[in-house]
Amino acid sequence: MQLTAPLDMHLHLRDGEMLDNIAKSSAQTFSGAIIMPNLVPPVSTKEEVIAYKNRILNAIGDEQFTPYMTLFFKPTYDKAFLESIRDEITAIKLYPAGITTNSEGGVSGFDVEELRPTLEAMSELDIPLCIHGETNGFVMDREAEFVSIYERLATAFPKLKIIMEHITTKESVAALDKYENLYATITLHHLLITLDDVAGGMLKPHLFCKPIAKRPEDKVALLKVALEAHPKVMFGSDSAPHPREAKEACGCAAGVFTAPIALQVLAELFENENAPLENLQAFVSGNAQHIYGVKPLPKTVVLEKKPFTVPSSYNGVVPMYADEEIAYSIKEIIYG
């Protein structure tokens, strides 16, 4: 099985030692990725975007990988600033304030008129808006409650390309076909688990994430659009590394680390569900290229059906399926 120019359209690489430790886990097998800007402090200036990109390139060494950079959304960005940074970024990421890791500087309200100057400028400059779509309501209802905000924004800014990040609910899936300018990323772990897998028995901290895994009917809805390669959905791992001590602790950090095994497990999932290879190719690359207009570096990942035991950790970060056997291995990577 071969996958050409695989892309991860939602990736956390962190910074400092963590960046150095895990960046190659993605760069080895993906041609590129949309890089999240929620560092401390968040990436919110042109200088910070360029500096962070350079740190990523240093961390990946000789790997052929394009970090598609994003800016942390602020409603004060004007058109002149966005024009000055347009060539350095692929998208802008909006976080509701305090809703997830390092999002305290996010948006506190979603008043359309307050956001209008920045969002209209983004529309004119064709800069996509990526949104972590959750309210601060009851944890299982947060994403479904946010759909009305997506609808309000999609209607108010019809030329703005809006990416619903890491969707987890049937309500978000339904919204895809209601609004021409709504798109979505879907993670590996949300295609595989429900809340029962996280907390139905003994708590599994390495499966705890935000948005939290939902109900079986939500997973069914996600699987359907992923397996059929719905043209408005694309793979975004939301691979979010934390040190073991931050996950196996009171106040468990949110995030599932899937970067090193994502393509192998997706291959197994699509095979088990009898989905054609061309659908997997579209889900992990083709759709993203069309939606974002990117041209990834040439890289072909050759997978073989050979059992692979997932390591217990990658430089101190525990991956999904640690110490378990998965069906596919990476045989080789072909460049050019």
Question: Among all residues, which ones are annotated catalytic?
Answer: 238
- Token digits of residue 334: 């072909």
* CA neighbor of 160 nearest in space, from 114, 129, 202: 129
Hunting for tokens 């059992």 — which residue is that? 307
Query: How many other C-beta atoms are found inside a 10 Å radius of the C-beta of residue 315?
Result: 14
Query: How many other C-beta atoms are found inside a 10 Å radius of the C-beta of residue 73?
Result: 25
Amino acid identity for residue 318 in this structure: V
Report residue 216: phi and psi, to 5°: -55, -40
Contacts of 71 (CB under 8 A, 6+ apart): 37, 43, 44, 49, 77, 85, 89, 91, 92, 93
Query: How many other C-beta atoms are found inside a 10 Å radius of the C-beta of residue 254?
Result: 16
- Rounded to the nearest 10°, the torsion over CA 8, 11, 15, 20 is -40
- 273: which DSSP letter? T
Which of left, alpha, beta for 315 (phi over 0: left; psi -120 to 50: alpha)?
A: left
- Token digits of residue 188: 């590996």
DSSP string across 151-206? HHHHHH-TTS-EEETT--SHHHHHHHTT-TTEEEEE-SHHHH--HHHHHSSS--GG
Residue 194: C-alpha distances to residues 140, 208, 220 (Å): 11, 11, 10
Query: How many other C-beta atoms are found inside a 10 Å radius of the C-beta of residue 5?
Result: 21
